[in-house]
Amino acid sequence: MISKKYVSLKDVVMPHFYGFWRDRRNTDVLYYVLKGGRGSGKSSVLAQGLVMDVVEQPITVLCVRRVANTLMESCYEQLKEAIEQLGLEDKFEYRVSPMKITYKPRGNSIIFRGADDPSKIKSIKVSRYPITRLWIEELAEFKTEDEVSMITNSILRAELPAGLQYKIFFSYNPPKMRQSWVNVKYESAILPSNTKVYHSTYLDNPYISKQFVEEAEHIKATKPLKYDWEYMGKAIGLGVIPFDNLLFEEITNEQIANFDNIKQGCDFGYATDPLAFVRMHYDKTRRKLYIFDELYGVKISNRKLADMIKSKGYESTLTLFDSAEPKSIDELRGYGIKGKGAVKGQDSVEFGERWLDDLESIIIDPKRCPNTYREFSNVDYATDKNGNPLPRLADKDNHTIDATRYAMSDEMRNKGLKSIRKSQFGL
């Protein structure tokens, strides 16, 4: 039996994680994402929860890291520490080769595998106690989401006995680059209903050492960007935010009905390069841009695009297209779409990006425009061969940004550069 002392919520987990601890029993949640900075306690509370699950349920827990030889010093030791914190040392048996931690009263275990040999994960057979818990530590070590999906799908394939549920836990420190797949997926305002994300820092950990705090404060004073990344768990990119005027919020039907300065832009694409069409309202007096609808996808022909625009009732509003494709613009006009090519000039890309950055705010509805939200929030500056930032955005996953530039190109030309403040690069 576990002492009542260790069952108490306040004795088992840090206060910051009370919500996570309660959510672990939520039958509607499958994925739990714990991210944040160094020393935040996320791995500790995860290990404590998994130990309790093994004690309370006839299940097997699988712990995974991308490289097998990193498991011993991370997951394995973390779980041993959790067992000690819970006062359960005499209830568990430890084995190193292969790594395994067994709950002796029942015989179910915590097992460990490295993703550097996927066949070992796929071939796991546990006859008596099914694998219902998966912990992937340092999720950001995986290069793609597909690598992770292969593992989760291997675990989720079997129907569980009545009363048991699958639960998948991810823990990681966010990578520096905003375009990293984990940042794109879990920094999003749009998450599946079966996914919960929890962010923590060392400031949430009441047990962190005085020396750790002193070091963190020193880094904060001397290297604030390093502090934001390593200790606060922020994806800082190159350290300069391209658009610091972004607001992500609902744009209501009532607001849209009152918009009277509608702009539309389109960046062409076809095969693997997405086409992006965006619709927005420009409040010229307050210098606010509201982006409230989009069309986005690959292999969209001009005829199909015209049909999509017409289905929305947008065909009579002028759309400014990428002028590099005059034949496509002519074809769309033939299908009844009002449009013309956006006027480009020398340095028009950099100018357009700076003009957008100089607006009071760019408001994007993430539900109506998920791709616009994703691209604007994750874009970073291009770099030179030495990794130094250049005064233009990286030409990657920026299709809706280009479409927005085209939509606003007439406004940009009328306004000129006079009101554009100097950028972070001194231009």
Q: Which residues contact 156 (CB under 8 A, 6 or more apart)?
A: 166
Which residue is it, tokens 């030495």? 386
Q: Counting Cβ atoms within 10 Å, is residue 256 exposed (0-12), middle (13-18) or buried (19+)?
A: middle
DSSP track, 116-168: TSHHHHHT---SSS-EEEEEEESGGGSS-HHHHHHHHHHHHTSPPPTT---EE
Written as six digits, the tokens of 228 are 């934001």
Residue among 399, 397, 365 at smallest CA distance from 277: 399
Q: Look at the alpha carbons of 3, 8, 10, 16 in this order and tell me if their dihedral is positive or negative.
A: positive
Beta bridge partners of 261: none
Angle at 372 between CA 366 and CA 376, to 5 degrees: 100
Q: Which residues contact 304 (CB under 8 A, 6 or more apart)?
A: none
Written as six digits, the tokens of 28 are 């509607």
- Of the candidates 73, 93, 138, 350, the residue annotated as catalytic is 138
Does the bond joining 175 to the residue before it have cis omega, within 30 degrees of 0?
Answer: no
User: Which DSSP symbol is given to 9?
Assistant: H
In whole angstroms, give the CA distance from residue 196 to residue 24.
10
Our answer to whether residue 138 is catalytic in this structure is: yes
Angle at 243 between CA 239 and CA 245, to 5 degrees: 120
Which residue intervals of 75-128 are DSSP H helices? 77-85, 118-122
Helix axes 399-407, 348-358, angle to 10 degrees: 80
In whole angstroms, give the CA distance from residue 402 to residue 354.
12
In whole angstroms, give the CA distance from residue 10 to residue 229.
29
**Residue 171 to residues 19, 23, 24, 209, 309, Cα–Cα distance (Å):** 16, 16, 15, 22, 42
Written as six digits, the tokens of 62 are 């699988």
Q: Do 217 and 209 form a contact (C-beta atoms < 8 A)?
A: no
Active-site residue set = 138
